[in-house]
Amino acid sequence: MQRRPSKLLPSVWVNICVRYNVKTIFLQRKNVYARKIGDVGAILQYMQEKQADDKSFYYAIQFDDEDQVTNVFWADGKSMVDYYHFSDVICWDMTYRTSSYGRPFAPFYGVNHHKQIVFFGAALLYDESEESFKWLLTTFKEAMSGKQPTVILTDHDEAIVHATASVWQDTTYCTCVWHVYHNANKYLAQIFQGSRTFAYDFSSLVFDCEDEEEFISSWGKMLGQYDLNDNPWLNQLFKERKKWALPYRRGTFCADMRNIQRRENLNSMLKDYLGLKQDLLQFFKHYERIVDEHRQAEVHADFHAAQSASLMVPSRMLRQAANAYTPAVLDMFQKEFEMSLDCMVYRCGEHGTTYEYKVTSDANPTKHSVKFDSLNGTVVCSCKKFKFLGIQCRHALKVLDILNIKELPAQYLLKRWRKDAKVGSLRADPRFASDIDSNSSKAHRSSYLHCIFSIIAARATHTVEGYAFIENQLDQLTEDVYHVLQTRLPKELQLH
C-alpha cells in the first residue's frame, strides 16, 4: 500500500490536443522517468501507448514526496466528444475498489441519445479524502476545457459534497438513487438476505415512486412491515430525502439515469472485473474493454436509428416524433402519447395569453395543472416530466390536442434525444474555439486542424462506408487546397 504523503505535489500533466493540440508536460520532479519498472512504469507505458493511438488522449498523474503515484485520471478523445454533447447529466461513481490494490476506482459516465451509458473518463485514487476529490474534479474540468456538467449524480458523502461545491460551483449536486440502493445493501445486509420481499419493496420505493404523498405513506408502511422504525440509517436517509428521492427532484433533469443504471447493470459488470486479482495494466485493459463494448453498442444503435422508418400512423405528432427521436426515446414518448388519449381535461382559468387546465384520468385520479401560453407556445405541467426526462408528458399532450396543435413545438424536441444529437459544427466545441487568424503561427494552425481531423477520423472509422467516404473526399479536398494556394502571393505562403 502506498504511503500517504505529508502533502501532495503538483501533478504531472500530459495534455494532448486540448485547446490547440499543443503537447504540454510539466514535470515537478526531475527524476519522474528515472523509476524502476513497476506501477508507475505500467501506468506511464499504458498512457503513452494510448496517446500514440489517440492524439486527443489526456491523462494526469499526481505523485507524493517519494515519487509514488497517488492519483491518476485519464480520458480519450471519444470521451471528450461525448462529454461535449451529453454533459447535462453525469454520474460520478465512487462505489468501486480495485481488488489487488484496494484503491478507489472512479468512473465518470452519462447518458447518450439512445439512453445508453457513455464514459467520460476515469480515475484511480489514493483515498476518498476531500483533497483527492478536489484534485480529481479540477483535473476533469481541465480535461474538458473548463466545461462543467449541469447536474452531477454521486454518493452522499461530506468530502464529495464539499469538493463538488468548491470546484464545480455552477453544477447542481444530487445524490444518485443507485448509490442509495447500493448503500442500503451494505447497511441493511441482514434484512436484504433474510427477507424475500424487502429488496423489491425498497427498490420500488427508491426507483419508481414519484408522488410525495405516496412516497411518505409507502415509507412508513415499509418501516412497520419490516420492523425498521428504529433503524438509524433509514431514519437518517429519510431526513435527507429531498437530496435523493424522486418526488423532490422532479425539477432537475436526470436523463432517466436511474432506469438506465438498473437496465445496464454497470455496477455488476465493473465489479466482476474489479474483483479479479490483476496488475494495473490488466485492470486498465479490462476497463477499456467495457468502454469499447458500450461504444460498439452505440454504433449499432446509430445504424438502427438511421434505418428506422417513420411510423405508419395517422398522427402527425407521432410521425414528427419518429422522424426526430431515436427509437429508445420514441418509445418513451409514444407511451405518453397513448396515455394522453385516456386523459380528461378541464379549462379552469385564463390570465392574458396564458390558459390553465386541469388534467386527470381514470387510471390516475390525481389532477395535474397545465398552463399554455398562446404567445410563445409554451406548455408547462405540474408533473414536471419534461424538466425531469426531457419529453413531454401525457397531460401537456392532451392540452395541445384540444387546442388543435398537432405537432410538438420545436423547443420540446430536445436535441440531446434526437437522432442528430451529435451532428453540428465541431468549432462549437470549446476545445476547438481557437482564435485562428492570419497572424497565427503555422504550428498553431496545424495543431488546430489536426484536432478537428482527428475527431472526423474517429467518427468515420466506425464503419467501412464512413472510411471510404472520407478517403474519397480527401482527394477533392487536397485538390481544392492546392488551388487556394495557387491564388496566394508568395509572401503569404512564408512561414510565420
The per-residue b/e assignment along 5-18, b for 16 or more CB within 10 angstroms, e otherwise, is eeebeebbbbbbbb
Element (H, E) at 52: helix 39-53
Task: Please indicate, yes or no, whether residues 56 and 141 belong to a single structural domain of this protein.
Answer: yes
- 250 shares a domain with 389: no
C-alpha angle 35-36-37 in degrees, rounded to nearest 5: 115
Could you count the other beta carbons within 10 Å of the beta carbon of residue 207? 17
Which three cell numbers mark 229?
422504525
Answer whether residue 186 is part of any domain: no
Residue 198 domain flag: no
Residues 482, 335 within the same domain: no
Please give the Cα distance from 311 to 326 (Å, whole number): 13
Alpha-carbon Rg of the chain, whole angstroms? Answer: 26
> CA 110, CA 124: separation in Å to the nearest integer?
19
Say if residue 261 is in the same domain as residue 323: no
Per residue of the chain (496 residues), what is the pLDDT tens digit?
444 443 444 444 444 333 333 333 333 333 333 333 356 778 888 899 998 888 889 999 998 777 777 899 999 999 999 999 999 999 998 877 765 567 889 999 999 999 999 999 999 998 899 999 999 999 999 999 899 999 999 988 889 999 999 999 999 999 988 889 989 999 999 999 999 999 999 999 998 898 899 999 999 999 999 999 999 999 999 999 998 999 999 999 999 988 887 777 676 666 666 655 667 788 888 889 999 999 999 999 998 998 876 667 789 999 999 999 999 999 999 999 999 999 999 999 999 999 999 999 988 888 999 999 999 999 999 999 999 999 999 999 999 999 999 999 999 999 999 999 998 755 555 555 545 555 556 665 665 676 677 667 767 777 788 888 888 888 888 888 877 877 765 555 544 4
The parent domain of residue 111 ranges over 12-176+244-296
Q: Do the domain assignments include residue 59? A: yes
Residues 407 and 485 in one domain: no
- The last residue of one of the domains, among 417, 434, 453, is 417
Q: Are residues 101 and 165 in the same domain?
A: yes
Query: Distance (Å, rounded) from C-alpha 108 to C-alpha 490?
Result: 50
Q: Do the domain assignments include residue 350?
A: yes
CA distance 107 to 474: 37
Cell of 268: 455488476
455 in the same domain as 344: no
- Which among 386, 417, 448 is the end of a domain? 417
DSSP, residue by residue, 396-444: HHHHHHHTT--S--GGGS-GGGBTTTT-S-GGGSGGG-----TTS-HHH
Whether residue 1 lies inside any domain: the answer is no
Same domain, 292 and 338: no
Q: Structurally, how many domains does the chain consist of?
A: 3
Report yes or no on 461 lying in a domain: yes
pTM as predicted: 0.80
Q: Are residues 448 and 403 in the same domain?
A: no
Q: CA 376, 381, 382, 384 torsion: positive or negative?
A: negative
Alpha helices, H only, 265-384: 266-274, 280-307, 316-324, 327-340
**Does residue 400 sit in the same domain as residue 448?**
no
| Position 197 in a domain | no
> Which of 231, 265, 296 lies at the terminal end of a domain, its last residue?
296
C-alpha closest to that of 253 among 121, 385, 117: 385
Q: Are residues 84 and 145 in the same domain?
A: yes
Domain match, 23 and 154 both? yes
| 87 inside domain | yes
